[in-house]
């Protein structure tokens, strides 16, 4: 079982819709959770992090964390074609100073 799992996609949504990206993790002791956006051929860019159960909002982005169910999600409201990218979920396992990355979900927003 992979430590951090994401659906590879592609997830296709129309412009203006809400895109929902999900991630599950195996280490119950994980402490902090990150969402990175990666455009094709470019480096990952940190867009959100969350460490407490519940929701965290930043502009059009909302990260949701449920530690009991071991999942973290990213909602993108009013999706734009410029949001088309691969979204990487990363988890900081408890007691370790490093991140474990999922393989990413490719999002395609079509006009």
Residues lying near other proteins in the complex (CB under 8 A) are found at: 8, 31-32, 34, 36, 42-46, 49, 51, 88, 90, 92, 97-99, 101-104
Return the SS3 of 51: coil
Q: With respect to other proteins, which residue has the nearer C-beta, 25 or 34?
A: 34
Tokens of 70: 């071991």
Tokens of 106: 């490719």
Q: Compute φ and ψ for 90, nearest 5 degrees.
A: -135, 145
Q: How far is the CB of 42 from other proteins (least distance, A)?
A: 7
Q: With respect to other proteins, which residue has the nearer C-beta, 73 or 104?
A: 104
Cα distance between residue 40 and residue 25, in whole Å: 25
Q: How far is the CB of 83 from other proteins (least distance, A)?
A: 19
Q: With respect to other proteins, which residue has the nearer C-beta, 16 or 96?
A: 96
Cα distance between residue 38 and residue 6, in whole Å: 15
- Give the largest CA-CA distance in the chain: 44
Q: How far is the CB of 53 from other proteins (least distance, A)?
A: 15
Q: How far is the CB of 78 from other proteins (least distance, A)?
A: 26
């Amino acid at each position: 079982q992979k430590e951090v799992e994401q659906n590879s996609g592609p997830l296709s949504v129309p412009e203006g819709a809400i895109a929902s990206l999900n991630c599950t993790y195996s280490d119950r002791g994980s402490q902090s959770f990150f969402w990175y956006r990666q455009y094709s051929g470019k480096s990952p860019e940190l867009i959100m992090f969350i460490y407490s159960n519940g929701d965290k909002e930043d502009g059009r982005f909302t990260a949701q964390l449920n530690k009991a169910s071991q999942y973290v999600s990213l909602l993108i409201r009013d999706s734009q074609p410029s949001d088309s990218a691969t979204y990487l979920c990363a988890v900081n396992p408890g007691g370790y100073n490093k991140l474990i990355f999922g393989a990413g979900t490719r999002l395609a927003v079509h006009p």
